[in-house]
Every structure is written in structure tokens, then in C-alpha cells.
Amino acid sequence: MARALDIHLPPGLLRVLDIGGGNGIQAMRLAAQGRAVTVLDADPAMLERAAARWAEERASAAGGTLELVEGRGENARQLVGGDWDAVLCHGVLMYLQHADALLAELGRCVRKNGGIVSVLAKNADALAMRPALEGLPHDALAVINQQTERGKLGVESRAHHRADVERSLSEHGLQTLQWYGVRVFTDHLGDEPPGQDVSTWLELEWSAGKRSPYREVARLFHLVSTRP
């Protein structure tokens, strides 16, 4: 996902809003490139973690800034304004019963004439892949026609069909630039490392995530859109 962001966020895109950015790991990486990044998150505990981490990393941020704002993504424009060069929403839709209100807000927050919206969501078209590859056919069969599951964190989460998310974003003025699959071959390994040659596995994941049919069976899809 970081590689994809580096492709689609050229140096001129300086103002970045990270909705549901949590502890700020992705936001700090972008701030370290000299960008002005705002993290909007409803969880004060996560924002506290982000503040502590940023205090340690601020000195090496190459002039970038990080602002932390508490609040829900559906209220983003009211809380932090609009005309953002890029709006990120990674790993948030899966915890919402209804995603359209947030997707509409992404379109309202990003600037016209080339603003970028980046969405990372759980792939409903491949929900059974992980349990099947883990050797749990009953679990795989239970979710193969579903959009919800109880993951390893014990929290119920929702998957989305990429076509539905694209359609919703289109209704709010956003056009798809590119999409990627994330975690194609190694998702079922859990916390186990894929082996000694991690760099090769990462390269394989990146290569597969850019092309069909591999990206269709990835655990997550990363959708990059623009507002023309």
C-alpha cells in the first residue's frame, strides 16, 4: 500500500487527510516526506499513541507536520474542512454497518482538479480464502457467501465488494485511477513470517497485487480514485 501511495501522491500533493488513521503509522510516513498530514480518528487512545510516536519521530520529518483531531469520519468536512490534496481511508469501512455516508464525505473533503482518494477495504469476493488456506473448510464455507466475519481480533467486521465501493465513490464525483490487491499469498500465515527471503515475498505480493486474476483473491483491495 505504501508503494501505491508513493506512485499516486506526487510531491506537489502536500495536504493529506487520514480518516481513521489510528496510531498514525501511515500518516507519519507521509509527514516524513515533507507533507502536512492531519489524522482524524474517533478513538482518543489511538490518537494518544500517535502523539507519543510522533514526539519521537518529529525531528526527522523533513519539515512535515502532523495534526491529530478527534472525531468521526462522517463529520470530517465540518471538523477539518475541505480541499485536501489527498484523503486516505484505510481499514475503516470494515467497522461500519453502512459505509455510504463516509464514502460521500471523502468526495466532499478532497479538492477538485486532481485530488486523490485512497480506500483500503476487506475484499468480500475473497472472504473464504484465508480460512480455506488455513485448513478450515467449515469456516470457509460459512463465510463464502457472507460479507461479515469475526476476525482474529474477535471483533465482527464487514467486507465489501470493490465494484460497490467504486460505484458509490462515482456517485460522489470520484473516478477510479487504479486498484491493487493487498495480501494475496501470505495472509493465511497470520503472525508467522513468510520465510527468510522477506524482500522477495514483498516483491511477489506487489507484483501480484497489480494484476488480475491474483488481485481478485487478495484479502484486501486498495482503491485509488481522483476527483476531476
Checking if the pLDDT of 159 tops 80, the result is yes
What's the pLDDT score for residue 191? 80
The answer to whether 45 and 117 are in contact (CB under 8 A) is no
Q: Using the structure block, give the residue that is written with the C-alpha cell 481499514.
A: 91
Greater confidence, 136 or 152? 136
What's the pLDDT score for residue 61? 75
Average pLDDT over residues 147-176: 91
CA 79 to chain centre: 21
Full-prediction pTM beyond 0.75?
A: yes
Count CB-CB contacts under 10 A for residue 109: 25
Strands, DSSP E only, in the chain?
15-19, 36-41, 65-70, 86-90, 115-122, 148-150, 156-158, 175-182, 220-227
The answer to whether 168 and 100 are in contact (CB under 8 A) is yes
What's the pLDDT score for residue 150? 79
What's the pLDDT score for residue 153? 66
CA atoms within 13 A on the CB side of 128: 12
Checking if the pLDDT of 99 tops 90, the result is yes
Which ranges in 16-171 belong to alpha helices (H)? 25-31, 44-57, 76-80, 100-109, 129-133, 137-143, 162-171
> Which CATH fold would you assign to the domain 2-227?
Rossmann fold (3.40.50)
